Structure 1
């Protein structure tokens, strides 16, 4: 039986959010292939995880017997998130661009699951787990565009998810999502529609590809 860890972080609900919509398409395709599987869904906008505190951070580097009650409680909350990551066969993350970077709620989740000596370091405990990130954005920050240098979502997540946690990272990038709502971007609507359709196709194809990998 397979387990998908699904993380949403957009502040927008349902179909108003491109990252949620594309992630939902991935999840549907995944569940069609794994009807008996488990999906662990964390909606970080609806139920944010705690930001890292001194107690939660320091508890990860001292023996359990030496922790204060505050440290033990804070670390237990981190362990729950870490174990969800470790036990997942695949991970799906909705990571819309908020002011050129990821939502603070997603950063909080990453800070909780990033533990040197366990999930990060020489032998990361979730190493090799496939993770698909839906990195939606209102404009375009692709190479060659005027705002290429403002892209801090993919670069950051590559550093954390791939290089530090050792996950097998893949991006799906729906872009120009503000075009239908911003009159100044009206001429870009056709490009937005192409990008959106491609993102849905890639999400379905990626979910099916992973399903075949686990069925093999």
Structure 2
């Protein structure tokens, strides 16, 4: 049986491009892997982690186990639960949006809390080589030659964490101009936005098929 861990961090449900592309990716994997495929979901966009869980869990690591407060024990238990979800998965899917040129605070809290678990601390190799996907949606255009080239301060950071710190075998699927449909000033970019979104769905379908081949070879 194949287990997919999927994390969503968009604060939108209706009209969320990151969720839609992740849906296509998930469907591609489940269709190829068959009915025994299970999906473990964590939606930090709709159900954020407590704001203080990271700091509480982090400081608990410097306190002898018997001296930890109830709050510290609860925070470390939650961190372990988050880590368990990723460790148990065969494929990891993280879908996110660019917010204010940076990482979603909800996704950042999840990452920071995960790192307080020793299995995901820098230097660990718990999930090294595990196939993973990062689905990124950006409301505007940030590509080479655009006025906001270099303003995306999220994707490079997420690559650093997922690839270099955790060692995941990462595939990134990106789409831009996702706000064109609802922003009058971007009306002339709508055709390009639709093309980019279609290409992202195509990439998700191809990625899903590709990862199933990896899983079968590894079996």
Taking structure 2 as the reference length, the TM-score comes to 0.91
* In structure 2, C-alpha distance between the alignment counterparts of 1:102 and 1:26, rounded to whole Å: 22
The answer for the alignment partner of 2:123 in structure 1 is: 122
1:196 is matched with 197
Tell me how far apart the structure 2 counterparts of residues 100 and 86 of structure 1 sit (CA, whole Å).
30
Is this contact kept in 1: 2:127–2:168, CA < 8 A?
yes
Equivalent runs, 1:62-101 vs 2, <5 Å: 62-101=63-102
Whether contact under 8 Å (1:89, 1:129) holds in the other structure is: yes
- Counterpart residue number, 2:185: 184
| Partner Cα separation in structure 1 for residue 129 and residue 67 of structure 2 | 33
**Does the 8 Å contact 1:134/1:173 carry over to 2?**
yes
Question: What is the root-mean-square deviation of aligned Cα atoms in Å?
Answer: 1.6
Mapped to 2, the partners of 1:61 and 1:166 lie a distance apart of: 26
Matching of residue 29 in structure 1 with residue 28 in structure 2 = yes
Per-residue CA deviations over 1:164-216 (Å, capped at 9, x if unaligned) read 11112221111111111112111111111110110000001101110111122
Deviates more, 1:117-126 or 1:162-171: 117-126
CA distance in 2, matches of 1:33, 1:23: 15
Distance 1:117 1:79 in 2: 9
- Quick one: distance in 1 between partners of 2:202 and 2:126? 31
Q: Report the 3-state secondary structure (helix = DSSP H, G, I; strand = E; otherwise coil) of the residue aligned with 2:176.
A: coil
Give matches, 1:148-167, under 5 Å. 148-167=149-168
> Partner of 2:18 in structure 1?
19
Deviation string for 1:70-89 (max 9, x for gaps)? 21111001100011111111
1 CA distance for matches of 2:158 and 2:216?
Answer: 28
Gapped regions of structure 2 (runs ≥ 5): none
Residue aligned with 1:201, SS:
helix
Q: Is the 8 A contact 2:54 2:116 kept in 1?
A: no
**2:34 corresponds to 1:40:** no
Aligned residues: 215
Query: How far is the alpha carbon of 1:67 from its aligned partner?
Result: 2.7
Quick check: 2:80–2:117 contact (8 Å CA) kept in 1? no
Moved over 6 A (4+): none
Give 1:171's aligned residue.
172
Cα separation, 2, equivalents of 1:170 and 1:95? 14
Q: Map of 1:1-20 to 2, 5 A cutoff?
A: 1-14=1-14, 16-20=15-19
Gapped regions of structure 1 (runs ≥ 5): none
Distance in 1 (CA, whole Å) between partners of 2:125 and 2:66 is 24
Aligned to 1:106: 107
More displaced 10-residue stretch of structure 1: 73-82 or 177-186: 177-186
CA deviation string 1:118-138 (max 9, x = no partner)? 213223211112221111011
